[in-house]
């Protein structure tokens, strides 16, 4: 049952058996986040998070990213199990306003579930009034949010990626929606961060019908309950969380993102340039220790170009594996957060006596658009990994799990792999000859030089095929150099 604080002024006649929230459902939010889902996705919120209009929302001490998200809440009236899109809206009894509060400081520990950051007491206020569903057109509703009296969110359900009926029909394929259940239908652009002292108001209305939920009011206060590190996850944030909580880098007070070093033009050059040629040009510039040695591809004939995302393993110690090896550990974080055109480079100290990745992680990296994986350790499920469309370079196959030799420790730091030092953002290029690390500042120059040398070598090869002696053309003497330059000038 609800507590007295929850029941007071709540528009719900009974506690829901579940609260289901949609991730991204408005076109404006998808544009803001830079990603548009192909299908709806969901997470659950506990019923203990329900609160009424006029209640306070606590931001725990030591945190900074309490984010508001004005949303339209659907209240299920009759049970729905495997219902059609055409019949879905008939299972909704009412709609009202909601604010899907979240504490982004805890998202790092909550990947996918949102339990810690969105499940706290009072983080699902609803109300104040209900609008009867049969009185409105679900595609003609308006949602607005005010922060300290200023309008910060406004959108209509005509701009949904996934109409309400689709959400209900989809959910009913997987579970029974029961009377009283609440569906939070996502937030439009403009969701951002609130501070203690801020007042947020959310209203849902049907302008054509003259109906409104009234304004759902929440006031943010500084909480008093702290987090115990010895019990579980504690808050921590980075600039990515700040950007997503505030809605943009600009709103979060962060500098504009740097232009990518690996441009499409540079990537095309590096895909054409052989690693042997790149190695030769790096040596000319005094860099001899830039190859990741002792690794070979699971898919011979493939080419890999990307920027380094680093992951470090330390030697296995049972107590440390107990504290760092389970849950959403550093290894899983790296594979679950790798971006398009990134290469996961793993420091395994040359220890190939266990796997450092297997088929599931390889599939996740491929789904994320990763450019590949390099590890100076072993690979489990080797044949399956080799069949995945993802370049992987390793010291070979090994059937043992990670914990036999390694503890996943940390990510995104300078590491050593195969005798080379790799920093996050270094450019990694690989082919059948091996793997090379290019400092970003030199990459374009080295690529251009390697391609020019490749053209020259191809011409030399033609001369050798024609019967000319190697001593004259490889390397070219002055006479042959002049002939080469003259032919190039003629096109």
For residues 476 and 469, the answer to whether their CB atoms sit within 8 Å is no
On whether 412 is known to bind a ligand per the annotation, the reply is: no
Contacts of 150 (CB under 8 A, 6+ apart): none
Buried b (16+ CB within 10 A) or exposed e, 25-51: bbbbbbebbeeeeeebebbebebbbbb
Residue 405 DSSP SS3 = coil
CA-wise closest residue to 252 among 265, 237, 235: 237
Q: Give the C-alpha separation, 319 to 410, whole Å.
A: 16
For 208-267, the DSSP string reads TTTEE---EEEEEEE------TTTS------HHHHHHHHSSTTTTTPPPPPPPSS-HHHH
- Per DSSP, helices labelled H in 264-411 are 264-272, 275-284, 318-324, 330-337, 359-367, 382-387
- Ramachandran angles phi, psi of 308, nearest 5°: -75, 130
On whether 431 is known to bind a ligand per the annotation, the reply is: no
Q: Give the C-alpha separation, 243 to 139, whole Å.
A: 30
CA-wise closest residue to 427 among 255, 296, 239, 260: 260
CA-wise closest residue to 69 among 125, 18, 14, 111: 125
For residues 220 and 57, the answer to whether their CB atoms sit within 8 Å is yes
For residues 289 and 390, the answer to whether their CB atoms sit within 8 Å is no
On whether 358 is known to bind a ligand per the annotation, the reply is: yes
On whether 360 is known to bind a ligand per the annotation, the reply is: yes
On whether 361 is known to bind a ligand per the annotation, the reply is: yes
Q: Give the C-alpha separation, 211 to 10, whole Å.
A: 18
Q: Give the C-alpha separation, 414 to 407, whole Å.
A: 17
Q: Give the C-alpha separation, 313 to 317, whole Å.
A: 11
Can you say which residues are annotated as belonging to the binding site for substrate? 358-361, 380
Can you say which residues are annotated as belonging to the binding site? 358-361, 380-381
Can you say which residues are annotated as belonging to the binding site for Mg(2+)? 381
């Amino acid at each position: 049952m609800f507590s007295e604080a929850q029941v007071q002024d709540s528009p719900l006649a009974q506690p829901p058996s579940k609260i289901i929230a949609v991730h991204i459902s408005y076109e404006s939010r998808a544009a803001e986040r830079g990603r548009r889902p192909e299908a709806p996705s969901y997470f659950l919120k506990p019923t203990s998070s329900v609160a009424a209009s006029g209640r306070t929302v606590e931001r725990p001490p030591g945190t900074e990213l309490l984010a508001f998200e004005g949303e339209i809440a659907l209240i299920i009236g009759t049970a729905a199990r495997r219902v059609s899109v055409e019949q879905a809206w008939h299972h909704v009894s009412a709609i009202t306003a909601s604010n899907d509060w979240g504490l982004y400081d805890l998202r790092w520990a909550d990947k996918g579930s949102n339990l810690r950051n969105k499940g706290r007491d009072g983080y699902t206020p609803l109300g104040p009034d209900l609008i009867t569903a049969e009185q409105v057109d679900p595609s003609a509703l308006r949602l607005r949010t005010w922060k300290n009296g200023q309008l910060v969110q406004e959108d209509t359900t005509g701009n949904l990626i996934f109409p309400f009926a689709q959400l209900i029909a989809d959910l009913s394929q997987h579970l029974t929606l029961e009377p009283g259940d609440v569906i939070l239908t996502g937030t439009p652009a403009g969701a951002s961060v609130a501070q203690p002292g801020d007042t947020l108001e959310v209203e849902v209305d049907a302008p054509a019908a003259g109906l409104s939920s009234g304004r759902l009011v929440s006031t943010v206060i500084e909480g008093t309950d702290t987090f115990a590190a010895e019990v579980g996850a504690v808050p921590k944030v980075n600039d990515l969380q700040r950007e997503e909580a505030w809605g943009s880098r600009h709103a979060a007070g962060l500098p504009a993102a740097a232009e990518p070093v690996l441009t499409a033009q540079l990537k095309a050059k590096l895909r054409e340039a052989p690693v042997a040629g790149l190695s030769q040009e790096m040596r000319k510039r005094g860099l001899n220790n830039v190859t990741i040695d002792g690794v070979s591809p699971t898919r011979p004939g493939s080419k890999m170009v990307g920027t380094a995302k680093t992951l470090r393993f330390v030697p296995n110690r049972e107590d440390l594996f107990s504290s760092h090896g389970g849950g959403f550990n550093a290894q899983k974080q790296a594979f679950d957060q790798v971006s398009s055109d990134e290469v996961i480079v793993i420091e395994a100290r040359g220890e190939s006596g266990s796997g450092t990745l297997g088929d599931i992680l390889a599939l996740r990296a491929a789904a994320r658009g990763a450019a590949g994986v390099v590890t100076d350790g072993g690979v489990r499920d080797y044949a399956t990994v080799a069949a995945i469309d993802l370049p992987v370079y390793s010291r070979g196959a090994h059937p043992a799990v990670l914990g036999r030799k390694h503890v996943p420790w940390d990510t995104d730091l300078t590491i050593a792999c195969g005798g080379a030092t790799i920093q996050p953002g270094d450019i990694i290029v690989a082919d059948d000859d091996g793997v090379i690390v290019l400092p970003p500042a030199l990459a374009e120059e080295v690529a251009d030089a390697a391609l020019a040398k490749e053209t020259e070598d191809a011409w030399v090869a033609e001369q050798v095929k024609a019967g000319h002696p190697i001593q004259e053309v490889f390397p070219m003497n002055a006479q042959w150099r002049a002939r080469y330059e003259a032919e190039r000038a003629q096109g």
